[in-house]
Amino acid sequence: MSLEPPLVFVVDDDASAREGIEDILQSVGLPVISFGSAREFLHGPRRDAPGCIVLDVRLPGTSGLEFQKILIEAGIRLPVIFITGHGDIPMSVMAMKSGAIEFLTKPLREQSLLDAVNAGIEADRLRREGSKHVSELRQRFELLTPREREVFALVVTGRPNKQIAAQLELSEMTVKVHRSQITKKMRATSIVELARMADRLGLSAEKS
Amino acid sequence: MALLAFLTTSIVTTVLAARIRRTSEEELRNTRAELARFARVAILGELTASIAHELNQPLAGLVSSGDACRRWLGNQPPNIERANQSLERIVRDADRASKVVERVRGLAKNTPPQKAAVSVKEAVREVIVLTRGELEQNQIRLEEQFADDLPLIWADRIQLQQVCLNLVVNAIESIKDLRGGPRNLLVRAEKDASDSVLLTVSDTGAGLDSDHTEDVFNAFYTTKPEGMGMGLTISRSIIEAHGGRLWASGNVPRGAKFQFTLPRCREGAI
């Protein structure tokens, strides 16, 4: 299986530090784009690929932590690896709480950086696959008729056809037909799988 | 005879007085230089964290480039071109780190003041760099404006740098604890009407008491808990010893503004 090539972003205002990080990542074959400020990153070229951001905590203008908030608001969900020149413990705690995957101190240990970046890329890959899967499921769900959706919501609660039929005032036969339509349209192989799909689509919340 | 005695006495007195005056002037100069050095070392002390940060950045670059270089060479086949690029950056970063050390050493060194033709832009920029960590840590935005037509000035480079550092560190202090509002620092150098260099350090910090802007230059005047209250007094004496002026005023819309002039280097002085 060929994986989509990753892309790592480096955001650090200090040229020495930034270029050094860029060099290490490139030396292990990772594509990198780097920026000298948060603003440059937000306005710069970005390719939609699995990746992560290596981000200096202290940037002129916008702090790394503020930047992380801006990213979340902008819907950019790349994992963040914070780096800092100051061994700043309160800030590292805040960073980890706000969802950073790692907090590294400069000068960076090569292996820690590579491990963190690889973990970031992997996490992003999983998230992207997950969300791709959900959007596919959503497309399938769109194919269901309103009645089928009603039946779907009840089927996944594990209720027998007879009960569903009674609740929706349909014949048991009709429920069966709906049910096979639903399974076909959703490309599910079992009730269990249908239930899992409903879960990912957030339907389990709607039923109650 | 009496006349001769009187003449001799008065000549001796005059000569002695001149000698005494010379000695005390020299002593005074020495004391002033010594005091200035103490103040410089005190500022460096305040900037320890910032200077460490300024050294750590190129060192971080060095370490990463070194690691990368080893990897480029370990690749099959080795990537000599990229390894060379890493090495070039290693040399550049090492050079940058050693320049920081050189500057700090220059400021801490005990050498008698020595005047020479100085580029204000170069001298000022060299020391502002030492405050960068402090600026970043306190989220202060620094703007530097240097006019293109700045004349060289005749000054002791270290003392000029000391005055600038002092003003910049004061500005940072006054912004540091603010909650809300802009956090800006401006350092501007331009040529004034009399062909002197006019340097302005203005901030959006807590500002000065407008009726007592002169008080800040008094010895032992301080608003900092650990301050000696000598920084601005010494700064003013340095600028005046260079034939310039140093004064303070309010910054619009908020904060403080410190300005000084230094006469340009006259033809033939170089």
CA distance B260 to chain A (A): 28
Q: What is the pLDDT of residue A207?
A: 42
Numbers of helices and strands, H then E, in chain B: 7, 7
Q: What is the pLDDT of residue A79?
A: 92
Q: What is the ipTM of this complex?
A: 0.73
> Does position A115 have pLDDT exceeding 90, yes or no?
yes
Query: Measured between CB atoms, which of A18, A19, A86 is closest to B53?
Result: A86
Q: What mean pLDDT, rounded, does chain A reach? A: 86
Residues 6+ away with beta carbon under 8 Å from B189: B120, B121, B124, B145, B146, B147, B150, B197, B198, B199, B200
Q: What is the pLDDT of residue A21?
A: 97
Alpha-carbon distance B26 to B186, whole Å? Answer: 37
Q: Do A16 and B57 touch (CB under 8 A)?
A: yes
Q: What is the pLDDT of residue A94?
A: 72
Structure-token pair, residue A8: 């790592």
> Does position A24 have pLDDT exceeding 60, yes or no?
yes
> Does position A132 have pLDDT exceeding 90, yes or no?
no
As a whole number, mean pLDDT of residues B141-170 equals: 92
Q: Do A20 and B53 touch (CB under 8 A)?
A: no
Q: Is A66 on the interface with B (CB under 8 A)?
A: no
Going along chain A from its start, the domains and CATH numbers come out as: 7-132 (3.40.50.2300), 143-206 (1.10.10.10)
Nearest to B177 by CA among B214, B221, B210, B225: B225
- pTM exceeds 0.80: no
Give, in order, the Cα–Cα distances in Å from A192 to each of A76, A148, A183, A199, B50: 33, 17, 11, 11, 60
Q: Do B141 and A17 touch (CB under 8 A)?
A: no
Q: How confident is the model at residue B3 (pLDDT cuts 50, 70, 90)?
A: low
Residue B37: half-sphere exposure toward Cβ, Cα within 13 Å: 14
Query: Measured between CB atoms, which of A27, A63, A108 is closest to B60?
Result: A108
Q: Do A106 and B67 touch (CB under 8 A)?
A: no
Q: Is B99 on the interface with A (CB under 8 A)?
A: no
Domain layout of chain B by residue ranges: 55-104, 116-262
CA distance A73 to chain B (A): 22
CB-CB neighbours of B268 under 10 Å: 5
At residue B97, the 3 state secondary structure works out as helix
Residues 6+ away with beta carbon under 8 Å from B264: B151, B152, B153, B154, B195, B196, B197
Q: What is the pLDDT of residue B5?
A: 66
Instruction: Find chain A residues with C-beta within 8 A of B65's C-beta.
Output: 19-20, 23
Q: Is B75 on the interface with A (CB under 8 A)?
A: yes
Sign of CA dihedral A32, A36, A42, A43: negative
Instruction: Find chain B residues with C-beta within 8 A of A60's C-beta.
Output: 135-136, 141-142
> Does position A98 have pLDDT exceeding 80, yes or no?
no
Give, in order, the Cα–Cα distances in Å from B204 to each of A66, B129, B254: 22, 20, 5
Give, in order, the Cα–Cα distances in Å from B83 to each of A17, A19, B88, B97, B233: 17, 13, 9, 21, 53
Q: Do A106 and B68 touch (CB under 8 A)?
A: no
By DSSP bridging, strand A80-84 and strand A51-56 are: parallel
Structure-token pair, residue B204: 């959006």
Q: Find the DSSP H helices in A4-102.
A: 15-27, 38-43, 64-73, 89-97
In contact, B270 and B158? CB cutoff 8 Å = no
CA distance A157 to chain B (A): 53
Cβ pairs A/B, distance under 8 A? 85
> Does position A43 have pLDDT exceeding 80, yes or no?
yes
As a whole number, mean pLDDT of residues B141-157 equals: 92
Q: How confident is the model at residue A205 (pLDDT cuts 50, 70, 90)?
A: very low
> Does position A57 have pLDDT exceeding 90, yes or no?
no
Alpha-carbon distance B86 to A110, whole Å? Answer: 15
Which residue is it, tokens 């809300």? B180
As a whole number, mean pLDDT of residues B180-188 equals: 91
Q: How confident is the model at residue A208 (pLDDT cuts 50, 70, 90)?
A: very low
Longest CA pairwise span in chain B (Å): 105
Q: What is the pLDDT of residue B57?
A: 92
Q: Is A26 on the interface with B (CB under 8 A)?
A: yes
Angle, to 10 degrees, between the axis of helix A172-186 and the axis of helix A161-168?
Answer: 110
By DSSP bridging, strand B197-203 and strand B256-262 are: antiparallel
Q: How confident is the model at residue B225 (pLDDT cuts 50, 70, 90)?
A: low
Instruction: Report the percent of chain B where pLDDT is more than 70.
Output: 88
By DSSP bridging, strand A32-35 and strand A51-56 are: unpaired
At residue A155, the 3 state secondary structure works out as helix
Tens digit of each residue's pLDDT (9 = 90 or more) over B37-90: 888 888 888 888 889 989 999 999 999 999 999 999 999 999 999 999 999 999
Q: Is B82 on the interface with A (CB under 8 A)?
A: yes
In contact, A14 and B135? CB cutoff 8 Å = no
As a whole number, mean pLDDT of residues A83-108 equals: 78
By DSSP bridging, strand B246-250 and strand B256-262 are: antiparallel
Q: Is B183 on the interface with A (CB under 8 A)?
A: no
Considering the domain B116-262 in this protein, what is its CATH number?
3.30.565.10
Mean pLDDT check: name the lowest of B8-22, B89-103, B231-245: B8-22
